[in-house]
Structure 1
Amino acid sequence: MKNLKFGEPRLSRSIEFCRNLSDSIIFSISVLIIGGIATVLSSAKWHMGLFAWIGPLFFLCYFRMTRIKRKTLWFFLVYLCRSIIAFKDVVPFPLPGIIVVGLIQTIQSWLIYLSDRWITRKSDRFLSTLYFPAASVSVEFIPAALGGSIWFSVANSQVAFNWITQLASITGLWGISFIIYWFGSVLVWAIQRNSEPRRAKRGIVIYSSVFLTVILFGFIRSNSNAMKSSAQVRVAGLSVPLTGFLENLYKDYCGREISIDPTWSITSSKVREIQKAELPFIETPDSAKFKYAYAAMKLANDSLFALSKKAADNGARFILWSEANALVFKNDEEQLIERGLKFSKKNKVYLVMTIAAIHPGKITATTKFLENETVFISPLGEIMNIFHKNNPVPMAEATEPGDGVIPVIITPYGRIAVSICYDADFPIQMRQLGNKKADFLFLPSGDWYSISPFHSYMAVFRGIENGTAVVRQASSGLSILSDSRGRIVKSFDYYLPGEKLWFADIQSKHENTVYSRIGDSFAWICVFIMLMGLTYRLANNSRKDES
Structure 2
Amino acid sequence: MRTPRHVWPLLPLGTGAMLLAVGGRWDIAVAAWIFPVLLLRFTRLTRAWSGALWIWLAHLAAAVFWVQESAIGFNAVVFTGALALAALQTLPFLADRLLTPRLRPAPAALVFPAGVAAAEFLINLLSPFGTAFGSLAVTQHANLPLLQVVSVTGPWGIGFLIGYVASTANRIWDSSSWRGGVVCTAVLLSVLLAGGARLTLSPPQGTTVRIAGVSPARTVTERLQTTLARFADGPGGVAAAPATAVRPAMTAVEDDLLAATRREAAAGAKIVIWPEEAVRTQESQESAAVAAARAQARRSGIYLEIGVRVYSTTAPAYGRNEAFLIDPRGTVLWTYQKAHPIAGSERYTPGDGHVPIVRTPYGRLANVICQDADFPALMRTRADIMLVPAHDWKEYGAAHTDKAVLAAVEGGYALIRQDAGGVSAAYDAEGHVLATSDYFTTGRQTMVAYVPVHGVTTVYDRTGDTFAWLCLAALAALTVTAVVRPRRPEDR
Relative to the length of structure 1, the TM-score reads 0.83
Aligned to 1:286: 242
Instruction: Judge conservation of contact 1:329–1:360 (CA < 8 Å) in 2.
Output: no
Aligned to 1:332: 285
Residue 223 (1) aligns with residue 200 (2): yes
Identify which of 353, 358, 373 aligns with 1:409.
358
Aligned to 2:302: 349
Residue 476 (1) aligns with residue 421 (2): yes
Q: What's the C-alpha RMSD, in Å, of the aligned pairs?
A: 2.4
Aligned to 2:117: 137
Aligned to 2:462: 517
Aligned to 1:99: 79
**Partner amino acid, structure 2, of 1:387:** Y
Identify which of 192, 202, 209 aligns with 1:233.
209
Instruction: Judge conservation of contact 2:48–2:94 (CA < 8 Å) in 1.
Output: no
- The C-alpha deviation readout for 1:281-310, integer Å capped at 9, x for no partner, is 23631346xx2x432222112211122122
Aligned to 1:38: 17
- Number of matched pairs: 483
Aligned to 2:257: 304
Tell me which moved more, 144-153 or 396-405: 144-153
What SS does the aligned partner of 2:485 have?
Answer: helix
Q: Distance in 2 between matches of 1:394 and 1:109?
A: 20
CA gap 1:177/1:74 in 2 versus in 1, 3 angstroms: closer
Instruction: Judge conservation of contact 2:369–2:389 (CA < 8 Å) in 1.
Output: yes
**Partner amino acid, structure 2, of 1:513:** T
Q: Distance in 2 between matches of 1:317 and 1:405?
A: 25
**Partner amino acid, structure 2, of 1:209:** A
Cα shift at 1:228: 3.2
Identify which of 484, 488, 492 aligns with 1:539.
484
Cα shift at 1:346: 1.2
Identify which of 185, 190, 196 aligns with 2:172.
190
Tell me which moved more, 92-101 or 211-220: 92-101
Residue 316 (1) aligns with residue 269 (2): yes
Q: Distance in 1 between matches of 2:36 and 2:292?
A: 54
Instruction: Judge conservation of contact 1:129–1:185 (CA < 8 Å) in 2.
Output: yes
CA gap 1:424/1:77 in 2 versus in 1, 3 angstroms: closer
Percent of aligned pairs with the same residue?
27
- The C-alpha deviation readout for 1:344-394, integer Å capped at 9, x for no partner, is 111212111111111125x4xxx1222111111111122222222222222
Cα shift at 1:328: 0.7
**Partner amino acid, structure 2, of 1:398:** R
What SS does the aligned partner of 2:203 have?
Answer: coil
Aligned to 1:247: 226
CA gap 1:384/1:82 in 2 versus in 1, 3 angstroms: closer
**Gaps in structure 1 of 5+ consecutive residues:** 1-18, 195-199, 254-275
Q: Distance in 2 between matches of 1:52 and 1:467?
A: 25
Relative to the length of structure 2, the TM-score reads 0.92
Q: Distance in 1 between matches of 2:48 and 2:351?
A: 51
Residue 466 (1) aligns with residue 443 (2): no
Residue 164 (1) aligns with residue 146 (2): yes
Residue 116 (1) aligns with residue 104 (2): no
CA gap 1:74/1:522 in 2 versus in 1, 3 angstroms: closer
Cα shift at 1:406: 1.1
Instruction: Judge conservation of contact 1:226–1:484 (CA < 8 Å) in 2.
Output: no
Instruction: Judge conservation of contact 1:421–1:443 (CA < 8 Å) in 2.
Output: yes
CA gap 1:70/1:178 in 2 versus in 1, 3 angstroms: closer
Cα shift at 1:426: 1.0
Aligned to 2:432: 487
- The C-alpha deviation readout for 1:113-163, integer Å capped at 9, x for no partner, is 122101112335122010111111111113434686222211111111111
CA gap 1:167/1:146 in 2 versus in 1, 3 angstroms: same
**Partner amino acid, structure 2, of 1:354:** G
What SS does the aligned partner of 1:453 have?
Answer: helix
Q: Distance in 2 between matches of 1:110 and 1:518?
A: 28
Residue 426 (1) aligns with residue 375 (2): yes
Q: Distance in 2 between matches of 1:462 and 1:77?
A: 31
CA gap 1:464/1:113 in 2 versus in 1, 3 angstroms: same
Instruction: Judge conservation of contact 1:227–1:511 (CA < 8 Å) in 2.
Output: no
Residue 81 (1) aligns with residue 61 (2): yes
CA gap 1:122/1:91 in 2 versus in 1, 3 angstroms: farther
CA gap 1:79/1:168 in 2 versus in 1, 3 angstroms: closer
Tell me which moved more, 383-392 or 183-192: 383-392
Q: Distance in 2 between matches of 1:338 and 1:110?
A: 52
**Gaps in structure 2 of 5+ consecutive residues:** none
**Partner amino acid, structure 2, of 1:92:** I
Instruction: Judge conservation of contact 1:144–1:428 (CA < 8 Å) in 2.
Output: no
Q: Distance in 2 between matches of 1:110 and 1:511?
A: 37
Larger Rg: 1
What SS does the aligned partner of 1:506 have?
Answer: strand
Runs of 4+ in 1 over 6 A off after TM superposition: 541-544
Q: Distance in 1 between matches of 2:49 and 2:305?
A: 60
**Partner amino acid, structure 2, of 1:377:** I
- The C-alpha deviation readout for 1:172-195, integer Å capped at 9, x for no partner, is 11111100111001100111013x
- The C-alpha deviation readout for 1:444-489, integer Å capped at 9, x for no partner, is 1111222232211221111111210111111121111111111112
**Partner amino acid, structure 1, of 2:372:** D
